[in-house]
Chains A and B, each alone.
Chain A
Amino acid sequence: MRGATLTLWLLASSALAGEVVSLPQGTYAPLFGLDVGQTAFPLGAFKLDVRPVSRAEWTAFLTKAPQWTKAKAPRVLVDEKYLTTFGLDRPSAPVTEVSYFAARAFCATRGGRLPTTLEWEYAAAADEKRADASRTPEFAQRILNWYGKPNRPDDLDQPGSPKNVYGVEALHGLVWEWTDDFNALFVSGDNRQDGDSNSKFMCGAGATGSAGREDYAAFMRYAMRSSLTPRTSLPRLGFRCAYDSRSTP
Chain B
Amino acid sequence: MTTKALMLGLCLWTTASLAEGEAKNVLALPTAWKDEAGAPVTLERFKGRWYALTFIYTSCAGSCPLTTKKLKRLDAALEQAGKRLDLVVVSLDPSHDTPPMLKQYRERYGIEGAKRWRILVGDDAQVRTLTMLLEFKYTKNPESGVIMHDNTVYLVDPEGSVHTSMSSLDQPMEAFLAAVPTGGSAPVRQKR
Q: Which A residues lie at the B interface, using CB under 8 A?
A: 33, 35, 38, 41-43, 74-77, 79, 100-101, 113, 118, 141, 144-145, 147-148, 180-181, 183-186, 194-196, 198, 216-217, 219-220, 223-224, 226-227, 229-232
Do A100 and B5 have beta carbons less than 8 Å apart?
A: no
B174 within 8 A of A: no
User: Chain A residues with Cβ under 8 A from B16's Cβ?
Assistant: 226-227
The distance in angstroms between the C-alpha atoms of A41 and B142, with both chains bound, is: 7
Known interface pairs A35-B141, A144-B1, A231-B22; A196-B17 also in contact (CB < 8 Å): no
Chain A residue nearest to B134 in the complex (CB): A230
Secondary structure of the A side of the interface?
A: loop
The distance in angstroms between the C-alpha atoms of A217 and B8, with both chains bound, is: 11
Q: B61 → chain A, closest Cβ, in Å?
A: 13
The distance in angstroms between the C-alpha atoms of A38 and B141, with both chains bound, is: 10
Q: Pick from A185, A186, A196 the residue with the most CB of B within 10 Å.
A: A196
Known interface pairs A41-B143, A79-B18, A227-B13; A186-B8 also in contact (CB < 8 Å): no
User: Chain B residues with Cβ under 8 A from A223's Cβ?
Assistant: 9, 12-13
Do B169 and A196 have beta carbons less than 8 Å apart?
A: yes
Contact with A along B1-13 (1 / 0, CB 8 A): 1101100110011
B101 within 8 A of A: no
The distance in angstroms between the C-alpha atoms of A100 and B1, with both chains bound, is: 30
User: Chain B residues with Cβ under 8 A from A183's Cβ?
Assistant: 132, 135, 137
Q: A188 → chain B, closest Cβ, in Å?
A: 8
In the complex, besides A183-B135, A220-B9, 4 extra interface pairs with C-beta distance below 8 angstroms are A76-B22, A148-B2, A181-B128, A227-B17
User: Chain B residues with Cβ under 8 A from A77's Cβ?
Assistant: 28-29
User: Chain B residues with Cβ under 8 A from A219's Cβ?
Assistant: 9
The distance in angstroms between the C-alpha atoms of A186 and B151, with both chains bound, is: 12
Contact with A along B84-113 (1 / 0, CB 8 A): 000000000000000000000000000000
A-B contact list, 17 entries, CB within 8 Å = A33-B141, A38-B144, A41-B143, A43-B142, A76-B23, A113-B125, A141-B1, A147-B5, A147-B9, A148-B1, A181-B128, A186-B137, A186-B148, A196-B62, A219-B9, A220-B8, A227-B15
Taking a contact as CB atoms closer than 8 A, the residue among A118, A196, A227 that contacts B12 in the complex is: A227
User: Chain B residues with Cβ under 8 A from A196's Cβ?
Assistant: 62-63, 151, 169
User: Chain A residues with Cβ under 8 A from B15's Cβ?
Assistant: 227
Do A195 and B151 have beta carbons less than 8 Å apart?
A: yes
Do B8 and A147 have beta carbons less than 8 Å apart?
A: yes
Secondary structure of the B side of the interface?
A: loop
| Interface magnitude class on chain B | 35 or more
Q: B6 → chain A, closest Cβ, in Å?
A: 8
User: Chain A residues with Cβ under 8 A from B23's Cβ?
Assistant: 76
The distance in angstroms between the C-alpha atoms of A35 and B135, with both chains bound, is: 24
Chain B residue nearest to A113 in the complex (CB): B125
Known interface pairs A141-B1, A148-B8, A216-B5; A42-B22 also in contact (CB < 8 Å): no
User: Chain B residues with Cβ under 8 A from A198's Cβ?
Assistant: 148
Chain A residue nearest to B7 in the complex (CB): A148
User: Chain B residues with Cβ under 8 A from A230's Cβ?
Assistant: 132-133, 135
Q: A222 → chain B, closest Cβ, in Å?
A: 10
Known interface pairs A101-B132, A144-B1; A195-B170 also in contact (CB < 8 Å): yes
The distance in angstroms between the C-alpha atoms of A42 and B25, with both chains bound, is: 35
B182 within 8 A of A: no
User: Chain B residues with Cβ under 8 A from A76's Cβ?
Assistant: 22-25, 28, 133
B74 within 8 A of A: no
Contact with A along B152-192 (1 / 0, CB 8 A): 00000000000000010111000000000000000000000
User: Chain A residues with Cβ under 8 A from B5's Cβ?
Assistant: 144, 147-148, 216-217, 220
The distance in angstroms between the C-alpha atoms of A42 and B24, with both chains bound, is: 34
The distance in angstroms between the C-alpha atoms of A109 and B118, with both chains bound, is: 32
User: Chain B residues with Cβ under 8 A from A42's Cβ?
Assistant: 142-143
